[in-house]
Structure 1
């Protein structure tokens, strides 16, 4: 992933209601192996976050100036240092309105992945650890804690400039369980939440279920198509990429690559050509799981009707060819 520009600034703020202060860097970071490793680690940590939202820019205004500065950067009316400094000052101002906000190092990286340009912004914190030195001593070591990343956004610059009607070119980490502590970061970017990844993915999965149901496929064909869908959507989620319905359609049926895509269009499921994936929704779709009163049952969805049958009248499950290890335990218990 070639890096075009990068810089770090620092916001000093504790969650105690006191005013914040800034330390601004006056030059871009030099290219280095450490910087490349940081970007790789940051993207990996960001993509692993399940609680992301997707959206697009508010219309530029005094309340949402970020997109205007970004446009000036792309038009070369503002250099990267100036752009990042203005943005960090805006972030500091919004932080001061949140008593729970905690300062940190604000990292800006503009990079390319293939033909696509991205800007990633992250608020980073340090954690204390230990290391063994070259002299074989144990010493304290301070390092960036990417595992607890919870304030970050990524903007697909190429999509923003090439598709004026796009609704999913910004993604950002959203607070869990209704927490509002991260709202100031969303407002800093000036993002309007668009698609809901869980809802969009569930709609896609429902469309797939309808599609294969109407096709009355043989079990092996159904299993193959389900595996193709699951593998592609899960892979896109891991990479932080959107699901392209036309590409997915080709993977589901190589002989009729547009069949599923045309089915979605004609049935009007309300899905855009590209949607943000939700890994958890796909996982739930691929497995049945239940736990109660000391009994836990989990099995892959394609086994229903083959090795697992449900008798609704008796409210009972029949499991054929259960795992050998389980059978051996049951036999040992009888002895």
Structure 2
């Protein structure tokens, strides 16, 4: 079988690897159809998010067809169309017991595309508890957005929004920013989106919720919407990871910053102001509290325009071209701004 292997910063290749088979009684082998490129994959390849094992197969946003099942599998059959939840949880360790299954202490060796062979490959070995059957009208392509959507639902849960009249700002019009805009919209919150890349800006304009406002600059947005460029907002979702320190002065009393990017930035935080204004700085990652199932339902029920978010599909062999569209130039070993309109990019495996 073929698999996209990580060999170190800026180095990856499609390798021929041994075919996968059921090794344990509850194993399920999935023939992968599509797998989305995530910012985590880019962070791993550039060395910024240095967590992956060398030699691991990358990829974790995948859908496919069950090819074989172990003898103890009861709820799935060969031929079932499925989407894969890559967030392993043992449900027995302290993080799991305290409600933080996305930080399971058994993650090492089980995290798809990081320490466990992922889904940029012909096949993937899974367990039934981490698979979800697809409804007939949900395409494999749409299903590949289930995992990133589940992450945004986790983040919105953490914001604990009680009033839909709040001012909410989403920074970054990549796939996560778009999904946050829709996840907030689906609980009744309209967003202001900030994106300074013209190509991302152009694509986002076509797929944001109708109530969303899109601007190139934060101060421009405040002045146009609220009359002054020093207006306060209640919620900021920062998908860039770089702007916590910059946006903090714009938070109203009780305001919240949700940071979701796995970027190695640092910020100076005024602790007295956080206490005095009841501010919150929140981090969020992965699926939690049934968010994967809820994400599937949102795609199934067309509450998220998953099909419109897919801007490009490349065959697995052209993975370098796919990453280049996102500004990750594996040939030159450098990051550049996206040079054409794009959003979610999928690799077609089968």
Q: Does TM-score exceed 0.5, indicating one fold?
A: no
**Computing the radius of gyration over CA atoms, which structure comes out larger, 1 or 2?**
1
Does 1 or 2 have the higher relative contact order (CA < 8 Å, sep 6+)?
A: 2
- TM-score, structure 2 as length reference: 0.24
- TM-score, structure 1 as length reference: 0.24
